[in-house]
Amino acid sequence: MAHMKVFVLMAGLTALLVVLGGSFFGQSGAVVFLVLAAVMNFAMYWWSDKAVLRMYKARIIGPEDAPDLYAMVDRLRQRADLPMPVVAIAPQEQPNAFATGRNPEHAVVCCTAGLLRLVDRDELEGVLAHELAHIKHRHMLVGTVAATMSGAIAMLGRVAMWGAILGGGRDRGGNPFGALVMMIVAPLAAMLIQFAISRQNEFQADRTAALLTGRPMNLAGALQKLDNYAKRIPMDVNPAAAQLAIVNPLRGAGASRLFSTHPATEARVERLAALENSPELQAAR
């Protein structure tokens, strides 16, 4: 189901790119903007492991530095049939975690120091399983493709809008008001679709983590605890890296869920609770 929802959302981004690009620049123009956006986003994707670790000021650790943490990641990654990722610890006090890397062979799982202090062993296992699920489903790649298409649509909209303004507000003899609305609405719609894809990725990682550990309520408890701490303990981190965290570390009060990269914690907990007695989970145990 999650794969289908992401596929439909990606199809929506593709349609927006084709319609907006074709309307103002023709098919070749749309391709140019897509290539420009791809260069910018895939550069970040390729070096994401190093860039994000720098943003979080994290240090890479080995089994001798944090043997319990390293062993837990190793055990879970074997269960998930993944290569051993790089393990890192960020010095932030807010309990949180993230995964990044361009593929399973170049992946990073990072915990904050606050996470290691403020959650119990079972909750930590749920969090680590969630991050390994992101690696297993290649969510970094999915997010990068979505960001590329959304970025191309945003560039198209800005260039078309300035062209319409400087050119007298008309595009190829069409309705100037309708064209202006399209230039504004299409990039906004693309951003909303990109955020929706991110939320679906979080739901999918939650579900996979629950099946991986066989104990969905451990992750549910961790999510509630992390969400509460995020409201009380600030974190200074680049927004580009913040969206990778298991719960949003940048708490924007009053922000619409449509503009959130993470689902509501209540919705995530509800879905995990529904898995507790499911036949699928019983089989996984």
Nearest to 93 by CA among 68, 112, 71, 74: 112
pTM for this one?
A: 0.81
d(CA 156, CA 68): 49
Structure tokens given for 118: 């403020």
d(CA 194, CA 58): 27
Note the pLDDT of residue 140.
86
What are the Cα distances from residue 275, in Å, to 159, 216, 262?
47, 7, 20
Q: How much is the average pLDDT of 8-12?
A: 65
Beta strand spans in 92-139 (E): 97-100, 108-112
Note the pLDDT of residue 192.
85
- 86-90 vs 59-61, strand pairing mode: antiparallel
> pLDDT category, 8, cuts 50, 70, 90?
low
Share of the chain above pLDDT 90, in %: 48
Note the pLDDT of residue 171.
47
What are the Cα distances from residue 279, in Å, to 58, 118, 213, 283?
39, 32, 15, 6
Question: For residue 97, what are the β-bridge partners?
Answer: 111
Q: Work out the angle between the directed axes of helices 121-136 and 216-232 (0-180°, nearest 10).
A: 100
Does residue 205 contact residue 271 with C-beta atoms inside 8 Å? no
Note the pLDDT of residue 118.
97
Kind plus residue range of the DSSP H or E element containing 171: none
Q: How much is the average pLDDT of 114-119?
A: 97
d(CA 173, CA 162): 16
Residue at token pair 């123009």? 29
Annotated catalytic residue 93: no
Share of the chain residues as helix, strand and coil, in percent rounded to the nearest 5:
70, 5, 25
Confidence check: pLDDT of 36 > 80: no
Per-residue pLDDT tens over the stretch 185-232: 777 877 888 888 899 999 999 999 999 999 999 999 999 999 999 999
Does residue 205 contact residue 139 with C-beta atoms inside 8 Å? yes
Q: How much is the average pLDDT of 109-125?
A: 97
d(CA 206, CA 161): 40
Largest CA-CA distance found in the chain, in angstroms, rounded: 69
Note the pLDDT of residue 97.
97
Note the pLDDT of residue 86.
97
**Which residue in 123, 125, 131, 202 is the catalytic one?**
131
Q: How much is the average pLDDT of 228-242?
A: 87
Does residue 112 contact residue 91 with C-beta atoms inside 8 Å? yes
Confidence check: pLDDT of 40 > 90: no
11 HSE (CA, 13 A, CB side):
6
Strand order in the sheet with 86-90: 59-61, 86-90, 108-112, 97-100
Least reliable range by pLDDT among 19-28, 80-89, 104-113, 132-141: 19-28
Per-residue pLDDT tens over the stretch 250-274: 865 445 677 788 999 999 999 999 9
Q: How much is the average pLDDT of 14-30?
A: 63
Per-residue pLDDT tens over the stretch 63-74: 999 999 999 999
Per-residue pLDDT tens over the stretch 151-196: 767 766 666 666 666 665 444 445 555 566 667 777 787 788 888 8
Nearest to 96 by CA among 253, 241, 205: 241
